[in-house]
A and B are shown apart, each in its own frame.
Chain A
Amino acid sequence: MTASDGYVLLALVLIPIGTSVLLMFTPSKERGAVIGITGLSSLAMFVLSVYAFAMYDFEGEQFQGMLTIPWVSNVGLLGEKGIQLKLGLDGMAATLVLLTGIITMAGTWVSWKLTHRMKDYFILLYLVAGGVYGTWVMLDVFFFFLLYETAVLPMYLLIGVWGSTRKEYGATKLMMMLVGASILIFVGIFGAFSAAGLGTFDMEELFRAGETGLIPRNTQILLFPMVAVGCGTLAGMWPFHSWSPDGHASAPTSVSMLHAGVLMKSGAWGVIRLGFQMLPQGAEYWAPALMVIGITAALYGAISALRQTDLKLMTGFSSVSHMGYVFVGLGTLNVIGMSGAVLQMFAHGVMTALFFLLIGGMYDQSHNREIPNFSGMAKQMPIWTIFFVIAGLASLGLPGMSGFIAEVHIFIGVFRAYPVVGGLAVLTAAITATYLLRMFSQAFFGEFNPRWSHLREINYRERAGATVLAITILTMGIWPAPWIDRVANAVAQTIPGVSM
């Protein structure tokens, strides 16, 4: 990437936010205009995301496409650098940028069938997208946190207004837990800022302060749990996960996609950026605890999913389980396991977005998500079933799919550090197979239940979105090197204290 590519990164943040603003001035009645604007905007984001991912040179410098615009300096506690609008991309962020581009585009396509206040929906949805892009590319803690919150807050309205089944409860619970968690992040950030005493929110400066011990070790040990729990809550970290199944169950389709697919990842990203990179000595101290929490979440989520009858709740608990793997991977503190964690963020994002896309495509027609109510759906909706099976196979870690690539790195990393935890992690993959295949044989196969003969195959926009996601799953599963090269180099070079 060249220096001018910094403007590409800036565009990735400004395009969705600009689209939101533009939509505010578009008349609600002009559905065609709304569709046109969002279509073009999501396509532009997708193209720029692919560009950023492809042009990132994993053998070059770690932060590429740097762009620094001074914002506030020499005021009060702030020193020369103060607050800057500072953007840059590393290999992990490049992967997550790609993820966001893919899911935003697919999510946009499937939302065009909304009939209730579509324009307002997109205004909020694109604020989420802009906020998430910001968390990937911002190298200033102030802007990082600002955009992080920008991504979280619209969820309240998106679920509360456009949701289903207990949407008020789901929206309130989600918002209370996430805002509560944000207070912890806030404390963590300002604690680190004042302990470093550099008078700047510049991430690179703070990372260096954390590595060299300018932020004292004891302070890091004190602050890391705040950041980890604060950001971890958004990532569905057990036992602060309970907003996630309820929130997903009540959210509309593309909100679930963006939320589980991308926004939850920015929680885990916060743990990496603010935890592992800014407070490395604290992270080292707490890594075993993180791993215990992660493996508990993986098993707990998988076992809970066995008993769920609601498709979305099952997927929600499956997310808790899969995000547990992320924390297991991070807790290994070696390059293989931590790379696996970031790969899992990508892989889980794509597969879970596909799950929610498909559940939504069916629920919009049937208004029913209870697995026992369905039978033999492969007869009525074969294409839908094929996509669902692909997502399911990725989820249970079948080799040749993205999920396996991520999981096998996590397993190998964990076996290096703690073999017993590794054994439990592999076992979890078998439990995942059990709940998914039980669901398959109950809902998709067997004699067709004629109650559902009015259901139609998912529409062309949903098929297009599902195809993009499925191709991503298979590409990463068969040729994972582009992802692994970017992620592994970034992990090895930008996270202090990582063993090889």
Chain B
Amino acid sequence: MTMEQVWLLPAIPAGVFVILSLFNRVLPRRGDFVAVLGMGTVVVLAVLAIADFQGAFHDGHFAPAPGANTYEFTWVNIGDGVLRIMFSTYFDAITAVMVFVVSFVALMVFLFSIGYMHGEERYGWYFAVLSLFAGAMLLLVTTNSLIFLYLAWEGVGLTSYLLIGFYWERQSAAEAAKKAFITTRVGDVGFLIGIILLWRVAGTFDIQELIHLAEEGAFSETYLTVSMIFLFMGAVGKSAQFPLHVWLPDAMEGPTPVSALIHAATMVVAGVYLVARTLPIFDLVPIAQNFVLYTGLFTAVMAATQGLVANDIKRVLAYSTVSQLGFMFVALGLGSVTAAMFHLLTHAFFKSLLFLGSGSVIHATHQQEVEHLGGLWRKLPITTVTFSIGSLALAGIVPFAGFWSKDEILLEAFELNPFAYAVLAGTAALTALYTTRVVLLTFAGRPRDQHAYDHAHESGPIMLLPLVLLATLALGSGFVAFDGVGRALGFVGGIGQVVTSHGEPHSFAFHPNIAVPATVLALLAIGAGFEYWGGNAIRAERARQWAPELHALLVNRYYMDNLYQAFIDRVVLGLAGIVARFEKSVVNESGVDGGAQTLNWMGFRLKFLQTGRIPNYALGMALGVLVLSIFALGGGE
């Protein structure tokens, strides 16, 4: 397996989808083993492809440039090149990170799902759609053509729709699926417009060629700014950034492993990937890049505050995902691909760990409201330990993975934009606070729902294995920042040497003046969390009563969902009502029916001329003769 055959990565899960969707009812175990074997193969092939890449990279054979596609063929060709759409794959360091994250987390989630989804009515269909998702996601990260990127982009959106609505008998799930699809579709309108605007000048959909042309100045700056902001709209929708973030918390209606894979580790980072991939173009247009920066910054704070009050364990994690994605966009807005991709990598591991851990809790108790949980550490020891590891990573405590990557982002911000640094540091403390809250309410204290607690039992090995593996990565994956670790893995150095910003490798260095305050702040926040939620319920109640209006504002998600609903109900459907009335009264009743009725009326009136009396007709003839003779005589003069 070399980089040239990387098209196999999306092809295998897509093939699994075809097999499973048609034959899952006749296969033993509904064909789940086909999906797992397919994904296992993909992980092996992905590792081989990465090995091939790092070999080339090591030897210096690798240069990101136009025409560096590893594989391509012509898909559409009009007028011999007037419109040419290529299918192409491309492999660089960003691809390597994405391919590993997607295939590895997918395999973990597939394994976990065997236990979690056991006995579901649509078990085979679940694995079919999950495989289709993996295929689309792998295509998204390996293709170098914006059209195929868009195709994969919509493909992951479709599978997300199908999986959020997996329990479609629940109206809430059906509504959440619809909301997710339509909200991201709004972003995709901009995305497609952006793609076509870029093509309009450059005449190509090839990302590397576009970067090359942009650097050569083929676009005017204003045009490029507008195009890139449109392109970024797609990322805003897919990565649930303000103002299109509203769909992600509702997306938690889907099965929990789906939330782990799609709505935490992979699909929602597609927007980050897109911006990272096109960052050389964003570098040329500071307005668009600042747009990315401040969108991410605002979203990071906003979502973190909402995470403080949510009661559903999965919703807390969803808000935290939105917030962490905001961190990544800040890194990109500051121009650092390295920091963004590093955080993407560690976040994928610890966040999917947290989601699978919450899945383990839900599987054991059939409860997901933290109000009804508590004291579960006695019953679910392994889940508790792994979940805590994930939480520490999320909170950014040394030496867990999240610390190192968050530190990178904070460092970039500290050097380039002190305001962003201050906001992010505060957000990091909020993160530690809500993480502590959810861990304490779930696992510590007394059980608040005795019935759920009594029936709880630790999950089976097929579910614990992914938890343990992901916990190992949540603990250790941050160390790839160090050159020594990178070299030990066979790369030229740490992640900064491989995934480069502006093509300049950089070595990781420990900055105590950033790391120490951040850690102290996080520890203080954890302490505050223990203070409020570690003790009895009265304390926790006091936290809620501290500022009731603020609490209501946060619980109601800043009333944004209500605002959007009102917009749809009043404005969109109101406009539709006006158009419908126009159609009915003007087009149909006045135009078509009215025309017919006018003719009918004229016929009705004119029929009275046909009286049937000879004298009337004779009078008519006489008048006719008279008129004609006047004309004749007049003409003669």
Interface residues of A, Cβ cutoff 8 Å to B: 173, 176-177, 239, 242-243, 300, 303-304, 306-308, 335-336, 339, 376, 378-379, 393, 398-400, 404, 408-409, 411-412, 415-416, 419, 422-423, 426-427, 429-430, 433-434, 437-438, 440-441, 444-448, 480-481, 484-485, 488, 492, 500
| CA of A304 to CA of B572, assembled, Å | 11
B75 touches A426 (CB 8 A): no
Instruction: List the 8 shortest-distance A-B pairs measured between CB atoms, nearest first.
Output: A445-B174, A399-B151, A445-B168, A306-B576, A441-B174, A446-B171, A488-B78, A307-B576
Which of A176, A307, A430, A484 contacts B596, CB < 8 Å?
A176
A441 touches B579 (CB 8 A): no
| CA of A423 to CA of B155, assembled, Å | 22
Q: Which residue of B lies closest to A414 (CB)?
A: B196
Residues of A within 8 A of B381 (CB): none
Residues of B within 8 A of A446 (CB): 168-171, 174
Interface residues of B, Cβ cutoff 8 Å to A: 75-79, 82-83, 147, 150-151, 154-155, 158, 165, 168-171, 173-175, 177-178, 181-182, 185-186, 188-189, 192-193, 196-197, 199-200, 572-573, 575-577, 579-580, 583, 587-588, 591-592, 596
B193 touches A423 (CB 8 A): yes
A306 touches B573 (CB 8 A): yes
B199 touches A306 (CB 8 A): no
B592 touches A177 (CB 8 A): yes
Q: Shortest distance in angstroms between A347's beta carbon and chain B's nearest beta carbon?
A: 14
Which of A306, A398, A411, A485 contacts B154, CB < 8 Å?
A398
- Knowing A378-B168, A433-B182, A437-B178, the reply to whether A304 touches B579 (Cβ < 8 A) is yes
Residues of A within 8 A of B175 (CB): 441
- Knowing A422-B196, A441-B174, the reply to whether A239 touches B168 (Cβ < 8 A) is no
Q: Shortest distance in angstroms between A249's beta carbon and chain B's nearest beta carbon?
A: 13
Residues of A within 8 A of B588 (CB): 242
A430 touches B178 (CB 8 A): no
B178 touches A440 (CB 8 A): yes
A415 touches B169 (CB 8 A): no
Q: Shortest distance in angstroms between A113's beta carbon and chain B's nearest beta carbon?
A: 27
- Knowing A336-B83, A378-B168, A446-B174, the reply to whether A411 touches B181 (Cβ < 8 A) is no
| CA of A440 to CA of B592, assembled, Å | 32
Residues of A within 8 A of B575 (CB): 303
Residues of A within 8 A of B587 (CB): 239, 242
| CA of A335 to CA of B83, assembled, Å | 9
Q: Shortest distance in angstroms between B156's beta carbon and chain A's nearest beta carbon?
A: 11
Q: Shortest distance in angstroms between B241's beta carbon and chain A's nearest beta carbon?
A: 18
B186 touches A430 (CB 8 A): yes
| CA of A437 to CA of B568, assembled, Å | 14
Q: Shortest distance in angstroms between B352's beta carbon and chain A's nearest beta carbon?
A: 27
| CA of A444 to CA of B165, assembled, Å | 11
- What's the A-B contact tally at a CB cutoff of 8 Å? 128
| CA of A411 to CA of B196, assembled, Å | 8
Which of B79, B83, B189, B196 contacts A430, CB < 8 Å?
B189
A-B contact sample (20 more), CB < 8 A, given A430-B189, A481-B77 = A243-B592, A303-B579, A304-B583, A306-B573, A307-B573, A379-B169, A393-B158, A408-B147, A409-B78, A415-B200, A426-B192, A433-B182, A441-B165, A441-B174, A445-B168, A446-B170, A447-B171, A481-B75, A488-B79, A500-B79
A416 touches B200 (CB 8 A): yes
| CA of A400 to CA of B297, assembled, Å | 35
Q: Shortest distance in angstroms between B96's beta carbon and chain A's nearest beta carbon?
A: 25
Which of B78, B192, B576 contacts A339, CB < 8 Å?
B78
- Knowing A426-B192, A437-B178, A437-B181, the reply to whether A335 touches B169 (Cβ < 8 A) is no
> What are 9 A-B contacts defined by CB distance under 8 Å?
A176-B596, A242-B588, A306-B573, A379-B169, A398-B158, A399-B151, A411-B192, A441-B165, A484-B76
| CA of A166 to CA of B626, assembled, Å | 51
Residues of B within 8 A of A429 (CB): 189
B151 touches A335 (CB 8 A): no
B181 touches A433 (CB 8 A): yes
| CA of A399 to CA of B75, assembled, Å | 14
| CA of A476 to CA of B579, assembled, Å | 34
A481 touches B76 (CB 8 A): yes
B592 touches A242 (CB 8 A): yes
B82 touches A500 (CB 8 A): yes
Residues of B within 8 A of A399 (CB): 150-151, 154-155
A441 touches B580 (CB 8 A): no
Q: Shortest distance in angstroms between B165's beta carbon and chain A's nearest beta carbon?
A: 6
| CA of A150 to CA of B573, assembled, Å | 41
Q: Shortest distance in angstroms between B367's beta carbon and chain A's nearest beta carbon?
A: 22
Residues of B within 8 A of A176 (CB): 596
B580 touches A307 (CB 8 A): yes
Which of A308, A335, A379 contacts B82, CB < 8 Å?
A335
B181 touches A412 (CB 8 A): no
A422 touches B193 (CB 8 A): yes
B174 touches A242 (CB 8 A): no
Residues of A within 8 A of B77 (CB): 481, 484-485
| CA of A445 to CA of B170, assembled, Å | 8
A448 touches B572 (CB 8 A): no
B182 touches A437 (CB 8 A): yes
Residues of B within 8 A of A438 (CB): 178
Residues of A within 8 A of B78 (CB): 335-336, 339, 409, 484, 488
Residues of B within 8 A of A306 (CB): 572-573, 576
Residues of B within 8 A of A378 (CB): 168
B583 touches A441 (CB 8 A): no
Q: Which residue of B lies closest to A431 (CB)?
A: B572
Q: Which residue of B lies closest to A385 (CB)?
A: B168
B169 touches A242 (CB 8 A): no
Residues of A within 8 A of B76 (CB): 480-481, 484
Q: Which residue of B lies closest to A308 (CB)?
A: B580
B177 touches A441 (CB 8 A): yes
Q: Shortest distance in angstroms between A343's beta carbon and chain B's nearest beta carbon?
A: 11
The residue among A398, A422, A438 with the most chain B CB atoms within 10 A of its own CB is A398
| CA of A289 to CA of B361, assembled, Å | 62
A336 touches B171 (CB 8 A): no
A447 touches B169 (CB 8 A): yes
Q: Shortest distance in angstroms between B135's beta carbon and chain A's nearest beta carbon?
A: 11
B83 touches A409 (CB 8 A): yes
| CA of A448 to CA of B165, assembled, Å | 15
Q: Shortest distance in angstroms between B535's beta carbon and chain A's nearest beta carbon?
A: 42
Residues of B within 8 A of A427 (CB): 189
| CA of A419 to CA of B193, assembled, Å | 9
Residues of A within 8 A of B170 (CB): 446
Residues of A within 8 A of B82 (CB): 335-336, 500
Q: Shortest distance in angstroms between A443's beta carbon and chain B's nearest beta carbon?
A: 10
A412 touches B182 (CB 8 A): no
Q: Which residue of B lies closest to A477 (CB)?
A: B151
Q: Shortest distance in angstroms between B439's beta carbon and chain A's nearest beta carbon?
A: 35
Residues of A within 8 A of B186 (CB): 430
- Knowing A307-B577, A415-B200, A441-B175, the reply to whether A335 touches B181 (Cβ < 8 A) is no
| CA of A409 to CA of B79, assembled, Å | 13
Q: Which residue of B lies closest to A427 (CB)?
A: B189
